[in-house]
Amino acid sequence: MASIDLFTTWTQLSEAQQLNEWRAFLTSLDAGDAGYHRYYPVLMPLWDRGDVPAIVEDEAMSAYETEMREQAEWEARNPPAADAW
């Protein structure tokens, strides 16, 4: 559980600051080092419950869809060689 001091610090952040911390947390989560994020004890339980701000979730989904679309386009231009042996 998050310490009272950390939770208090989190609640004193402005909405814009909290959104920026959420973005940083999701980037860290994707990279596999979310445990090092300053607000990990506050944000991880919220993430587990699905309590992510909609704007941040939409941004993350949009970035994911863009990445997948770019990968599909690259694979279409560079098909794997059949029977590369």
The amino acid sitting at 48 is D
Give residue 2's pLDDT band: very low, low, confident or very high (50, 70, 90).
low
pLDDT digits (tens, 9 = 90+) for 43-85: 999 999 999 999 999 998 998 999 999 999 998 888 777 666 6
Say what the pLDDT of residue 51 is.
92
Given this model, what pLDDT does residue 4 score? Answer: 82
**pTM of this prediction?**
0.74
Separation CA 68–CA 73 (nearest Å): 9
Residues in CB range of 23: below 8 A, 6 or more apart: 56, 59
Confidence tier at 16 by pLDDT (50, 70, 90): very high
Question: What are 28's two structure tokens?
Answer: 């860290």
